[in-house]
Amino acid sequence: MRSIAPLLTILLLAATPALAESGSGWVEVAPQGAGFRVDMPSRPEPKRAVNSTFLGQVENLRYRVVHEGTVLVVATAELPMLARFTPRAILFGEVRKSFLESAGAKGGDLQDLRRGDEKGRSLDFESVDPDAGREGYAEFFIKNGVVYTFMGEVAKGKSRKSVERFFESARVGE
């Protein structure tokens, strides 16, 4: 079985943007029909890609904002039909593995997570390259055949205020 490193890219996708002002210069990102919403410090430019994985072709779209040295990403990817029959624990394990490989990071075990009515997994991570000096946090959800990824990354020792606001506003299933 091949690695699904391209799945990380898949995880970093969403749909057409619907943005609303949410105060303090932040905007609500709530793409119509994408099934999530989150506040970000500026209007992100969506990036679309199609990746080939051992699960098949996967179209993805991600929203990424860099704000005062903080990187915030929200993404969705529709899983190929084959993956929908894979047990969730295995899918989350593969998501973790490909996320860390693609991010050039190392991280601990996935932790159970509940955000509203949705169950997911969370992960603390840090860059493998000690010169990069980056650390972060990611949350993963799988709902109705879609993988949702929320990720915040900062320089070690720097404020996580933007990351905290980002995750406090994140919702799946809306």
- 60-88 residue pLDDT tens: 888 999 988 899 999 888 888 878 888 99
Calpha distance 29→16 (Å, rounded): 10
User: Quick one: average pLDDT of 115-141?
Assistant: 91
Q: For domain 6-172, which architecture applies?
A: 3-Layer(aba) Sandwich (3.40)
SS3 of the chain: helix, strand, coil, percent, to 5: 20, 45, 35
Calpha distance 21→65 (Å, rounded): 15
Domain coordinates of the chain in residue numbers? Answer: 6-172
Which own/partner contact pairs does 31-34 have at CB distance under 8 Å and 24+ positions apart? Answer: 34/76
The predicted structure's pLDDT at residue 131: 80
Specify the pTM.
0.83
pLDDT band at 52 (very low <50, low <70, confident <90, very high): low
Q: Which of 64-73, 79-88, 146-155, 164-173 shows the lowest per-residue confidence on average (mean pLDDT)?
A: 79-88
